[in-house]
Amino acid sequence: MTESQIKSQVKESVEAVRAQKPLAPSITNTVTINFVANAQLAVGGSAAMVYLPDEGEFVSEVGSAVYINAGTMFPVYEESLPRTAKRLFELKKNWVLDPVGIGIGSLRTKLLAGFKEFPPSIVRGNASEVIALAKLWGIELSTSSQGPKGVDTVDSVNDAENAAKALAKYINEKRGGLGGAVAVSGIEDLVTDGENVVYSKGGSHFMEKITGSGCSLGGVCAVYAGVASPFIAALTATQIYNLAGKRAEAKVNAPASFQVAFLDELYLASAEDVANNPFELK
């Protein structure tokens, strides 16, 4: 893809979401669930959160795309997550996985490992999480990479480029060519479909001073995945986050004000500005 093609498709995604209000249901953690929903609404999508197995299947059917975030595990997830992922796979629907906390606890590990069979169309995580997921799925990487590190990132976005590309290729293949993408969050954010690699710029140092900037980015990826390919969806979400983050930071001097300003800027950002937010196509 060319830079100009990418910009044009990002712009269309922003506009399509505002026109269609796609429903992007979530099974997500209790810490940032409210932020996820409000971010989804701010960009123009619709939200619905569930926990139970048959509800996960139901929302997979009625939703445009789905978001699964492994943040706070409940016992019922043992049934809900596999059944939801399987149904999404059968329906060939886009869904986004945030493997947050990978490496913590046996149930989380088992469920994240199980997603290899019914993979998401988009993985959104920090560098350490993306590397850890590739390892958990036994995906061979051309460079050495590190193991699970818990909730905090220690690897850099660059370190995760190979893992991200390999994961995206695996997803695309397993989903029969329906596309796959991985978004790695960091100082600059990497988005790849296995072939194209984009580094998106902007954001704010306050992103790390509020909980849920990553989780809500995953939820917003799902909103755009209701109207666009996994790659364009992940990139559009990343671009609007970097734009809104930069704009919000310019207005405030502390994190709670930042969060309010950031959500406001998600709502106010024009499609044009999101498409033109600085990025680099490698």
Residues of the binding site for ATP: 124, 185
Among 71, 99, 194, 230, binds its own copies (CB under 8 A): 71
Q: Does 52 bind its own copies (CB under 8 A)?
A: yes
Select 148 or 179, whichever has its Cβ closest to its own copies.
148
Instruction: Give the per-residue contact string, 166-205, with its own copies (x = CB under 8 A; - = no).
Output: ----------------------------------------
Residue of 210, 243, 208, 241 lying closest to 223 (CA atoms):
241
φ, ψ dihedrals at 221, nearest 5°: -55, -45
Residues making up the binding site: 49, 124, 185, 212
- With CA atoms as reference, report the closest residue to 204 among 259, 276, 167: 259
- Report the distance separating Cα 105 and Cα 84, nearest Å: 21
The CA distance from 266 to 253, in Å, is 19
> Which of these, 161, 175, 185, lies nearest to 245 by C-alpha position?
185
- Is 265 a binding residue for its own copies by CB under 8 A? The answer is yes
Stretch near its own copies under the rule CB under 8 A, chosen from 26-34, 122-130, 178-186, 218-226: 26-34
- Residue 155 binding its own copies, by CB under 8 A: no
Owner of token pair 């993979």: 119
Confirm or reject binding of residue 76 to its own copies (CB under 8 A): yes
For residue 122, give the 3-state DSSP assignment.
strand
Contact between 98 and 214 (Cβ < 8 Å): yes
Q: Does 6 engage in binding with its own copies (CB under 8 A)?
A: no
Considering the complex, state which of residue 257 and residue 270 has its C-beta at the smaller distance from its own copies: 257
Question: In which region does residue 18 sit, left (phi positive, over 0), alpha (psi from -120 to 50) or beta (all else)?
Answer: alpha
Does 32 bind its own copies (CB under 8 A)? Our answer is yes
Question: Which of residues 6, 10, 22, 46 is near its own copies by CB under 8 A?
Answer: 46
Q: Among 91, 141, 197, 210, which residue sits at the site for its own copies (rule: CB under 8 A)?
A: 210
The rounded distance, in Å, linking the Cα atoms of 50 and 48 is 7
267 touching its own copies, by CB under 8 A: yes
Residue list for the binding site for substrate: 49, 212
β-bridge pairing 26-27 and 122-126: unpaired
Q: Which residues bind its own copies (CB under 8 A)?
A: 23, 29-35, 37-38, 41-42, 46-52, 54-55, 58-59, 62, 71-76, 101, 104-108, 150-152, 208-212, 252-257, 259-265, 267-268
